[in-house]
Amino acid sequence: MERFSLFFIYCAGVYSILLAVFHILFWKISMFNWKEELDKLSPVNSGVMQVLNLCLIALFVLIGFIAFVHAEELLYTSLGRTLLAGLSIFWLLRFIYQFIFWKNNRLVFHIIFASGFLLFLLPLLGSWHQ
């Protein structure tokens, strides 16, 4: 069971780093068209969008680092399990918000956000059996 849990923690680390890279590319991805769309916002709202994105990038890198460097602590400590539970809830909420706030509901995005929920939940469930 431990190998199973560690595998999913490492997968969650890869997932987090890939999301950081994806968010770095927001300024270039044509689907978001930030070059034109951000100009339509007020300077304050444009700044808020970009600052939030930069903070998410830092958070995803930090989560990826923790998953790779502190995988065992995530499984065997109360703080680690709390972090796994919190990240599972974060991705579950992100999945739910997708349906509420996005008009462009592509299946790929549902899969991405549901995957985040499972990648952090499965090691947590596995850690209870150890």
- Quote the pLDDT of residue 31: 85
DSSP state of 115: H
In the predicted model, residues of the chain with pLDDT beneath 50 are none
Write out the residue range of the structural domain in which residue 77 sits.
2-127
The secondary element (H helix, E strand) that includes residue 79 is helix 78-101
- The pTM score is 0.90
Yes or no: say if 116 and 15 are a contact pair by the CB < 8 Å rule. Answer: yes
- Quote the pLDDT of residue 32: 87
Yes or no: say if 120 and 84 are a contact pair by the CB < 8 Å rule. Answer: yes
- Quote the pLDDT of residue 2: 84
Q: How far is CA 43 from each of CA 37, 51, 119, rounded to the nearest angstrom?
A: 12, 12, 37
- Quote the pLDDT of residue 114: 92
- Quote the pLDDT of residue 17: 98
Rounded Cα distance between 127 and 76, Å, is 7
Give the chain's domain count.
Answer: 1
